[in-house]
Structure 1
Amino acid sequence: MILKKMFIDGKWVDAKNGQTRTIINPFNQEEIATVAEGDQSDAIAAIVAARQAFDQGDWPNTPVTERASIVQKIAELIERDKEELAELESLDTGKTVEESRVDMDDIAGVFRYYAEIGDKNGGEIIPSPVPNSVSKVVHEPVGVCGQITPWNYPLLQASWKLAPALVTGNTLVMKPSEITPLTTVKVFELIEEAGVPAGVANLVLGAGHSVGAELSTNVDVDLISFTGGIETGKKIMQAASVNVKKIALELGGKNPNVVFSDADFETAVDQAMNAVFFHAGQICSAGTRLIIEESIHDEFVKALVERVKNIKLGSGFDEDTQMGPLISAEHLAKVESYVETGIKEGAKLVLGGKRPEDPALQNGFFYLPTIFTDCTTNMSIVQDEAFGPIITVEKFQTEEEAIKLANDSIYGLAGGVWTNDIVKAERCVAKMRMGTVWINEFNLYFPHAPWGGFKQSGIGRELGKLGLEEYTETKHIFHNLDPKPINWFGK
């Protein structure tokens, strides 16, 4: 089995400690790759390379059109190698290969989008109150960026960070999740092929407590961007205070999906399934809190159960598979514990709640699609992010109650409203405290629109123009065209 290495200062290298990690397929626990397992020393080496490339290299001062051309080249290479990348992603995560193909199209689109808008952020002339002067605002790269990505959408989340960082002239050190690094390694091969100079983009593989911690605390890192769990995000935020780094945190959500009685019933049922069981619920924006108007509650739940119980579990490479496994044994145990808690809290388990009995699935980390009813917001299963194939159902009678329930969370990433009354829909979304709110839709995103959350779902935005601005510093330049002595203290 070929060892996948790290990429530091333009070279593919082993971990300094000689350690490796075995990557497994969550469908059957088959070993699919061996990768270098770096630690703090490797992170430091990568930071030194990135620092030197930024402070002494040409990349920050390379014309933005040239940087954009390279980012565009990366998009083209991703499209060229789409099938290889999709297969790697499905082997790594267990998701269906069709999902992974869609991801690769989206990832290429992210690089292409930032290549297109990279030169649209050049600054502006602003009015000056001083005669014979020019005042302007410019946007410059932040510097060395530490980037930490999650296991659920390894390459998609990486693209949200890589593309804007590169096009704006930063240098970077990326740490992917240690359990799903394969597509990120492949894309760094494409980054090298596209002509990104040595030291500009560095890849360190390893655990968060060593590599991630160094990126967070090292004073030579100017920005830390993290996507992952809320507790880790809090630690990174504290660690980043050492040198008051810029921070960008996307920390998940517990997302409400509100269905009014006047919604298109069949579409809402279908989308309620898609909102949760796509990628086995391992999506930060999954609509796991289904909030249904009481008058249609029973009928809606009945229809939902009938459809959900037919979801086919299996290998991501089987064309009939609709849902793959969870990512690991540890995560499976977490989801099982979550369900046990829900039962103890008094929620009614109406479907699932266990591992499948199919012998063909016993070697994988599978969990049946699960539905709880009779849920209330004082239950931990309604408040805590399960990150699994679980729907909790709440009910409401009035519009005001629906909004109160939707907002009753420490999170504020995303939410949805289903109704054919557009005025009511607009009233609702105006009051929902979330970074993205969909009307008669769920889990749709595209590169042009910003992504991020309110409250404890994070700080900052990725994607869109705001995602580009995260990787820049704003500078005001004042030029006096006719300087004269002030004589404030006399001649």
Structure 2
Amino acid sequence: MSVETITTISPITNKPILTRNGLTDADLQALPTTATEAFKSYKNTPLSERQRIVKTALQLLNERQDELAKELTEQMGRPIAYTAKEITTAVARGEYLLKISGDALADTDGEPEKGFKRYIKKVPVGPVLVLFAWNYPYLILVNSVIPALLAGNSVIIKPSPQTPTIAEHFQEIFQEAGLPENVMQYFHCGSFIQLETLVRAPEIQLICFTGSVAGGLAVQRAASDRVGVRVGLELGGKDPAYVRPDVDVKWAAENIVDGAIFNSGQSCCSIERVYVAQEVHDEFVAAVQEELKGYKLGDPFDKSTNIGPVVSKRSAETIRSHIKDALEKGAKDATPENESFKSPPEDGNYVSPTLLTGVTHEMTVMTEETFGPVIPVMKVSSDDEAVKLMNDSVFGLTASIWTKDVEEGHELADNVEAGTVFINRCDYPSPDLAWIGWKDSGKGQTLSKFGFDQFVKLKSYHIKDYPK
């Protein structure tokens, strides 16, 4: 029986850098059975031991950050100046989830009554299938794998073909930390037909998917004929920012540019739409231009590089098509002169950061996820208009409001349709807050104490004293 070969193409050179073999159909079908057997034992492991394993694994992950950072730059193109930070952030996030796990997984007592004991216990759901994306692979994995293991579940993880080694490292590190064999398994796969086999497997109790809306819908459809399986989806965004007239324009521009083009704009919660009060619009555009002059597009292994390539030729084509559509419909390219934007390396998927003005909601760049280093700016006349436009989207992951009047910003935030609303900040999932997408941005949640909920099911105990 032939086995699928999965090839990773470098976004830096567009040349193959890795190959991995998929599984035979028989081996793939065996994964849920193996995960179930491992779960039967692991679910009885005391929480204190699970916590010890996770703590040790996080320490090992942190110790290897330099090696893992280099590999991450090679596979997905983020500049080497920033990739180690993903590892340290993932560790810090995992440590927070570890810290709150005792309370998050604790029993809940019922009403006291003489002669009775009643309580609700949180028990693990069973084997969990984690399908994760390439853009922040360590952070995405921590969101699901850490609470899944702390709750007592087994996990099967499938990495993106773009970053295949991350799953391999996770399994190695957790086994070194003492995780019993087969509690964590991984597999490589580029075929949705094979993946569907696992999604439909009766042993799988929860599917955690992070990726595109189309991918999430495909997973949800594949699981739709099963009553018991849960599906958690972390999908795309078209996240807006609103700059009020009272703000320090230079400061807001610095932060918004970073929130829009860090990681080449390849974040589900990067800023993809900017609404600016007409009173400060021109000043804001000038401040963004000045900020962009200081960025360097180029070789991600050069420590002075801010912006590397986007992940693929297809991604670059999508980004450029959004820019082209906007310009054809009347937008203006207001990108400042920057020598690195003119002459990036020739072989990779380099897309220059682009500032667009005069955009409208008739343009693709304001309605569909661009996932690239584009900053479209639209002038608004009032808070009400800004909020209306922010909500005019099928997405609802995050939004940000930039203002000196935090109290007023807080009131505006109540009317913004998004799972997370930032005031004077953006592009930062905080581990103590629920990470949740509204509308087409997803369902279910990760992080915070509520991030444990999808990894457990409730079991009520109703005990009456035996008559004497």
TM over 0.5: yes
Task: Give the AA of the match of 1:395.
Answer: K
Q: Residue 64 and residue 405 in structure 1: after superposition, are their counterparts in 2 closer, same or farther (change >3 A)?
A: same
CA distance in 2, matches of 1:135, 1:171: 28
2:249 touches 2:287 (CA, 8 Å); kept in 1? no
Percent identity of equivalent pairs: 30
164-173 or 40-49, which deviates more: 40-49
Aligned equivalents of 2:27 and 2:399: distance in 1?
A: 40
Q: Is the 8 A contact 1:23 1:33 kept in 2?
A: yes
The total of aligned residue pairs comes to 465
| Partner SS for 2:421 | strand
Q: What whole-Å deviation, never above 9, does each CA across 1:138-172 have from its counterpart, x for those lacking one?
A: 10001111110011112221111111111110011
Mapped pair 1:435 → 2:419: yes
Aligned to 2:139, the other structure's residue is in SS state helix
Alpha-carbon distance change, 423 to 119 in structure 1, aligned in 2, over 3 angstroms: closer
Q: Does 1:454 align with 2:433?
A: no
Tell me which of 35, 59, 73 is aligned to 1:90.
73
CA displacement 1:459-478 (0-9 Å, x = unmatched):
01111111112211111111
Q: What is the CA distance between 1:257 and its match in structure 2?
A: 0.6
Query: Contact conserved, 1:154 with 1:184, CA < 8 A, in 2?
Result: no
Supply the distance in 1 between the matched residues of 2:374 and 2:206 (Cα, whole angstroms): 35
Q: Deviations over 1:224-258 (max 9, x none)?
A: 11011111111211222222311111111100111
Q: Which amino acid aligns with 1:221?
A: I
Residue 136 (structure 1) aligned with residue 119 (structure 2): yes
Return the TM-score normalized by structure 2: 0.94
Structure 1 Cα separation of the partners of residues 134 and 24 of structure 2: 18
TM-score where L is the length of structure 1:
0.90
SS in 2 for 1:372: strand
Give 2:448's aligned amino acid: G
Alpha-carbon offset, residue 40 of structure 1 = 4.8
* Pairs within 5 Å for 1:37-186: 37-38=22-23, 40-55=25-40, 58-120=41-103, 121-127=105-111, 132-186=115-169
What secondary structure, in the 3-state scheme, does the structure 2 residue paired with 1:160 have?
helix
- What are the Cα deviations for residues 253-278 of structure 1, in whole angstroms up to 9, with x where unaligned? 10011101111111101011101110
Which residue identity lines up with residue 467 of structure 1 in the other structure? Answer: G
- Counterpart of 1:271 in structure 2 is 255
Residues 253-307 of structure 1 show CA distances to partners (whole Å, capped at 9, x for unaligned) of: 1001110111111110101110111000000001110110011111211221232
User: Residues of 2 paired with 1:356 and 1:297: CA distance?
Assistant: 24
Q: Which residue of 1 aligns with 2:351?
A: 367
Q: Distance in 2 between matches of 1:356 and 1:151?
A: 25
Q: Distance in 2 between matches of 1:397 and 1:112?
A: 44
The separation in 2 between residues aligned to 1:352 and 1:193, in whole angstroms, is: 50
- SS of 1:238's partner is helix
Alignment partner, residue 262 of structure 1: 246
* Pairing partner for 1:198 from 181, 194, 206: 181
Higher mean displacement: 155-164 or 202-211: 202-211
Whether contact under 8 Å (2:155, 2:185) holds in the other structure is: yes
The amino acid across from 2:403 in the alignment is T
Is 1:314 aligned to 2:295, yes or no? no
Q: Distance in 2 between matches of 1:408 and 1:379?
A: 13
Please report how far the alpha carbon of residue 30 of structure 1 lies from its aligned counterpart in structure 2 after TM superposition.
4.2
Q: SS at the partner of 2:407?
A: helix
Q: Is the 1:133–1:482 contact (alpha carbons within 8 Å) kept by the matching residues of 2? A: no
Q: How does 1:265-414 map to 2 (within 5 A)?
A: 265-351=249-335, 357-358=342-343, 361-414=345-398
Aligned amino acid, residue 87 of structure 2: M
- CA separation in 1, counterparts of 2:296 and 2:404? 31
* Conserved? CA contact 2:316–2:350, under 8 Å: yes
- Counterpart CA distance in 1 for 2:178 and 2:53 is 7
Structure 2 match to 1:7: none
**1:42–1:348 CA distance, 2 compared to 1 (3 A):** farther
Shift of 1:212: 3.1
Tell me the distance in 2 between the aligned counterparts of 1:235 and 1:348.
37
Partners in 2 of 1:116 and 1:393 — Cα distance? 41
Q: Which runs of 5+ in 2 are unaligned?
A: none
Residue type of the partner of 2:213?
Answer: I
Partner amino acid, structure 1, of 2:453:
E
Q: Deviations over 1:116-153 (max 9, x none)?
A: 2222222121116x752221011000111111001111
Q: Distance in 2 between matches of 1:207 and 1:356?
A: 33
Listed one character per residue, the Cα deviations across residues 47-77 of structure 1 (whole Å, up to 9, x for unaligned) are: 221122123xx20010010011001111010
State the match for 1:20 in structure 2.
5
Letter in 2 for 1:397: S
In 1: Cα distance, 2:2 partner to 2:33 partner: 18
**Partner AA of 1:86 in structure 2:** A
Query: Separation in 1 of the partners of 2:387 and 2:199?
Result: 37
Task: Mark the CA change 1:346 to 1:218 in structure 2 (over 3 Å): closer, same or farther.
Answer: farther
Alpha-carbon distance in 2 for matches of 1:97, 1:259: 31
Deviation at 1:215, TM superposition (A): 2.8
The answer to whether the Cα contact below 8 Å between 1:332 and 1:365 also exists between their aligned partners in 2 is yes
Q: Distance in 2 between matches of 1:27 and 1:309?
A: 23
